[in-house]
């Protein structure tokens, strides 16, 4: 099993392994996508590992990587490979399906694990109830709702705003949660609707919004759909303000995201002085420093520190993760009793000149 996993990633592993000087007897496991829509995110973890090896004298003696297939059975297979390899900690996890299958297997061997990306509330319920050593550096979905509602209340107060969603689990749940939270505050949208995603044109949806007199629209959908809807509105001459959630933090599709679109996304910005140095190290190698790059780097920093302290103090990695504050490229990171990262990482941003620029501190 392990042989097959290593073979399928050999082209990526060779330059990364060469860049990492072995020192302490630390074994890191990485479960991340190597193909499909999430492949660029998995690649960023490997790139972060390479940059970490260049910058730090202390690195990992061994890495075990398993592809994250996001389909039934793949998460269990990846977790078993980590147990068989005897890793000290596992990071990655971009799919909820992987966590559901992998978390109990890793917990049975007392292997601490951490998701970089999955934000769904439900994936942490069983680990929390059963006391499994599963942690999340990614922001929580409820944090996103909180900032969406706050931004609508502060920036769109008194405006005729609409809520629309694409029928996916994310879109439906996000828009419904936002609607209910606003209702509790005595505020209601002028229009609520859903739309069919992945269409080349969305003029019909835009006209429905126009007939409803909506001037500001929150879209529970992905980046490509928001780009098409906003572009179609501009083609017709409708002046609307658009806002989306975390799915907007993705690559452009055939239609680029227009300037002026707002997004509530988890900020990867850091006030740490070395954050710029790390970002420049990514770019010097031709790697993108946006997306999950710095979050992956921070997860690797946490893993390295936790494993070292675990060996020094002769206690499980999970105990160290529960106890310590970790000084990372994203700033200090600490986990609460539910193994969630403390603090709300979401920020209101606006897409301008090829990047998301923060609107609020």
Q: Are 73 and 101 in contact (CB under 8 A)?
A: yes
Mean pLDDT computed over 238-260: 92
Give tens-digit pLDDT for 99-109.
999 999 999 99
pLDDT attached to residue 20: 37
Residues 260, 278: one domain? Answer: no
Residues 167, 115: one domain? Answer: no
In the numeric block, the tokens 């319920």 are attached to 125
Residues 227, 353: one domain? Answer: yes
Mean pLDDT computed over 256-268: 89
Residues 210, 331: one domain? Answer: no
Residues 186, 279: one domain? Answer: no
Residue 17 has pLDDT above 80, yes or no: no
Give tens-digit pLDDT for 168-216.
988 999 999 999 999 999 999 999 999 999 999 999 999 999 999 999 9
When the pLDDT of each residue in the chain is averaged and rounded to a whole number, the result is 89
Residues 250, 276: one domain? Answer: no
Domain count across the chain = 2
Q: Measure the CA angle with vertex 206, ends 204 and 212; round to 5°.
A: 105
Residues 151, 253: one domain? Answer: yes
The string of DSSP codes covering 34-65 is -SSTTHHHHHHHHHHHHHHHHH-SS--SEEEE
Mean pLDDT computed over 142-169: 95
Helix (H) or strand (E) holding 121: none
Cα first-last separation, the chain = 48
Q: Measure the CA angle with vertex 194, ends 191 and 146; round to 5°.
A: 70
The string of DSSP codes covering 181-195 is HHHHTT---SEEEE-
**Per-residue DSSP letter, 353:** T
Q: Are 21 and 53 in contact (CB under 8 A)?
A: yes
Q: Are 60 and 27 in contact (CB under 8 A)?
A: yes
Q: Which domain holds residue 71?
A: 2-136+270-343
User: CATH code at 52?
Assistant: 3.40.50.2300
Residue 1 has pLDDT above 50, yes or no: no
Residue 257 has pLDDT above 90, yes or no: yes
Give tens-digit pLDDT for 278-328.
999 999 999 988 878 999 999 999 999 999 999 999 999 999 999 999 999
Give tens-digit pLDDT for 230-240.
999 999 999 99
Residue 57 has pLDDT above 80, yes or no: no
Instruction: Say which residues have a Cβ less than 8 Å from residue 180's Cβ, sequence separation at least 6.
Output: none
Burial profile 148-164: b = 16 or more Cβ within 10 angstroms, e = fewer: bbbbbeebbeeeebbbb
Residues 62, 8: one domain? Answer: yes
Picking from 204, 152, 139, the residue whose alpha carbon sits closest to that of residue 178 is 152
pLDDT attached to residue 9: 37
Residue 88 has pLDDT above 70, yes or no: yes
Count the neighbouring beta carbons within 10 Å of the beta carbon of residue 188.
11
Burial profile 222-241: b = 16 or more Cβ within 10 angstroms, e = fewer: bbbbbbbbbbbbeeeeeebb
Residues 188, 101: one domain? Answer: no
Residues 247, 277: one domain? Answer: no
Residues 240, 290: one domain? Answer: no
pLDDT band at 272 (very low <50, low <70, confident <90, very high): low
Residues 132, 230: one domain? Answer: no
Q: Are 180 and 210 in contact (CB under 8 A)?
A: no
C-alpha distances out from residue 59 to 21, 23, 116, 300, 325, Å: 6, 6, 19, 10, 20
| Three-state secondary-structure class, residue 284 | helix
More confident residue, 274 or 202: 202
| Least confident interval from 8-22, 242-256, 285-299 | 8-22
Instruction: Say which residues have a Cβ less than 8 Å from residue 353's Cβ, sequence separation at least 6.
Output: 259
Q: How far apart are the C-alpha atoms of 231 and 312, rounded to whole Å?
A: 57
The residues pairing with 45 across neighbouring beta strands, listed in sequence order, are none
């Amino acid at each position: 099993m392990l042989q097959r996993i290593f073979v399928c990633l050999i082209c990526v592993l060779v330059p990364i392994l060469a860049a990492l000087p072995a020192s302490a007897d630390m074994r890191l496991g990485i479960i991340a996508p190597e193909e499909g829509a999430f492949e660029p995110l998995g690649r960023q973890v490997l790139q972060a590992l390479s940059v970490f090896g260049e910058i730090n004298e202390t690195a990992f003696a061994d890495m075990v990587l398993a592809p994250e297939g996001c389909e039934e059975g793949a998460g269990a297979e990846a977790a078993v490979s980590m147990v068989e390899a005897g890793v000290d900690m596992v990071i990655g996890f971009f799919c909820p399906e992987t966590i559901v299958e992998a978390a109990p297997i890793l917990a049975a061997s007392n292997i601490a694990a951490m998701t970089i990306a999955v934000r769904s509330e439900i994936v942490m319920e069983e680990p929390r109830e059963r006391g499994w050593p599963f942690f999340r550096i990614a922001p929580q979905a409820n944090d996103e709702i909180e900032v969406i509602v706050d931004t609508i209340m502060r920036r769109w107060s008194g405006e005729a705003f609409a809520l629309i969603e694409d029928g996916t689990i994310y879109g439906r749940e996000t828009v419904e949660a936002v609607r209910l939270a606003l209702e509790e505050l005595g505020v209601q949208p002028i229009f609520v609707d859903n739309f069919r995603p992945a269409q080349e044109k969305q003029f019909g949806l835009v006209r429905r919004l126009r007939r409803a007199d909506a001037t500001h629209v929150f879209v529970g959908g992905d980046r490509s759909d928001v780009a098409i809807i906003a572009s179609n509105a501009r083609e017709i001459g409708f002046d609307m303000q658009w806002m989306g959630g975390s799915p907007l933090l993705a690559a452009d599709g055939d239609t680029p995201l227009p300037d002026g679109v707002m997004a509530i996304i988890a900020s990867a910005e850091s006030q740490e002085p070395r954050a710029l140095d790390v970002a420049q190290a990514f770019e010097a190698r031709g790697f993108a420093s946006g997306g999950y790059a710095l979050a992956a780097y921070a997860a690797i920093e946490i893993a390295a520190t936790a494993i070292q302290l675990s060996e020094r103090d002769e206690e499980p990695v999970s105990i160290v993760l529960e106890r310590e504050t970790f000084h990372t490229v994203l700033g200090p990171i600490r986990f609460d009793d539910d193994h969630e990262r403390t603090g709300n990482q979401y920020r209101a941003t606006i897409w301008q000149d090829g990047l998301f620029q923060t609107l609020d501190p």
